[in-house]
Every structure is written in structure tokens, then in C-alpha cells.
Amino acid sequence: MVNLLTGVRGFIFDVDGTLYDSRRIHRRVFFARPLDVCLLLADRRARKSLIGADYGDAETYYREFFSLMSRAVRKSESFVRKWYFDAFMSRMCRILKERYRPRPGCIELLETLTRKGIKFTIYSDYPLAAARLRALGLNVEDSRIYGPDIFGAQKPAARPFLSIAEDMGITPGEILVVGDRDDTDGAGAAAAGMGYIRIKTGKKQASPAIRWEDFCRAYSAITGNPTLI
């Protein structure tokens, strides 16, 4: 673990499953309004079909995304778009605020990185990442937050990772991606020439995983910081 952190000048953190334990989030969103089951399933299927897609800009991406959902539920694209942002995402933020908290030491880690001038960004699979982070109690500068609504792409497309590296002013080889999924976070890191570690969750993946607490301790050990958790 220490070897992975040596020489790292910047971090890209995933959100769901990484900065907080996202177990049961989809179930809770469903039970908050079971009548939306068809829309929820359409969202999951559309996102799955667009894994790795890169449309170059947010509006082109959204047109394809909502077109897929629209056909699946036989509703207009404007109806689906309004449901997605006004109902689904606001419901997710409410559930995050009520039921979820950042992983132990997460707030302290991000504050330590900021204090030491070590660059980090947050790149989420879902849009409106800033609102979801605030719902969790994480206050991060908006300039450090990215998602499909910024790039018009989904992980593991390489361009967003490379664009983030350019924004950070760091070469890709000096960046470590911290995520929870090999097919999105890991594959995106590999495509961009970045390092990758997987935070241990209940999901079965091929790569070795590390507990979030051990990641924080390893970072503390090589930087001489007091233990973060």
C-alpha cells in the first residue's frame, strides 16, 4: 500500500461506495417511491448501456441518456428529464442526508490534503455531485468536483481522467484514482495511465481491495500526519 502512495502528487476520488458506504442506497431510493420502479430500472439500464461512452459535451450525452430512458418507459424525453433532476436526484440527496455519512476519517483526510496543498478532485458516476456531497456533510470546492454533467461522458472513458489531470497540472502517472469498481474507476485509471486502488466494499471485484481505514492510516504513515481515524 505504501508503495502505491509513494510519488503520488494528486488524487481522484470516486463518490458512491468510496467516500461513503453506499450499501442499500438503491433499495432506499426505490422504497421512497415504489411507483417509480419503471423509471428507476430505465435509469440503471441506460447508465449501463452508456458505460465508457464519450459524447464530448453534457447536452449531447443527456440527449442520448434520456432518449434511452424515454423509449424504455414510453414517456417523453422532457418528462423523463424533469423526473430525473427534480424527483430522482432530489430524493437521493434527501436519503443521503438522512441515512448516510462519510467514511470514518474522510472529512479529516480531505481537510489534510487541502491544508498541505496536495491536489485532489472528486469524479462521480452520477451528476449533481456537489449537491450529493453537501448532503453527506462534505464541503468541497465546486472546482474540484466532476461528473457526467461536466464531461458528457461516463467512466471508464479516458478523456475525463486526462482532462482532470490537465486541470490539476499533474502528469497522469503521478495521480492515484481511489474508487470501488474495477470496470469504471479501475479501467478509467488504466486507460489514462494512472494508479488505482480499490476500497473494499461488499461488491465482488477482481482487483485486491483495501479498507478505507487502512488507506487513511497508510497515508498518515508516509506523510507524518497524526492518524486520521
- Residue 187, helix vs strand vs coil: helix
Q: Which amino acid is at 143?
A: S
Ramachandran area for residue 154 (φ above 0: left; ψ -120 to 50: alpha; else beta): beta
pTM value is: 0.93
| Cβ atoms 125, 184 nearer than 8 A | yes
Collect all residues with Cβ–Cβ distance below 8 Å to 12 and sequence separation of at least 6.
120, 121, 122, 123, 161, 164, 175, 176, 177, 178, 189, 194
CA 163 to CA 165: how far, in whole Å?
Answer: 5
> How do the pLDDT tens digits run along the chain, 229 residues long?
545 677 789 999 999 999 999 999 999 999 999 999 999 999 999 999 999 999 999 999 999 999 999 999 999 999 999 999 999 999 999 999 999 999 998 998 898 888 888 899 999 999 999 999 999 999 888 889 999 999 999 999 999 999 999 999 999 999 999 999 999 999 999 999 999 999 999 888 888 899 999 888 887 765 555 554 4
Rounded to 5°, the CA angle 126-50-94 comes to: 20
Ramachandran area for residue 137 (φ above 0: left; ψ -120 to 50: alpha; else beta): left
| Cβ atoms 77, 67 nearer than 8 A | yes
CA 169 to CA 112: how far, in whole Å?
Answer: 20
Rounded to 5°, the CA angle 23-24-29 comes to: 135
Collect all residues with Cβ–Cβ distance below 8 Å to 150 and sequence separation of at least 6.
58, 160
Q: What local confidence, expressed as pLDDT, does residue 114 receive?
A: 87
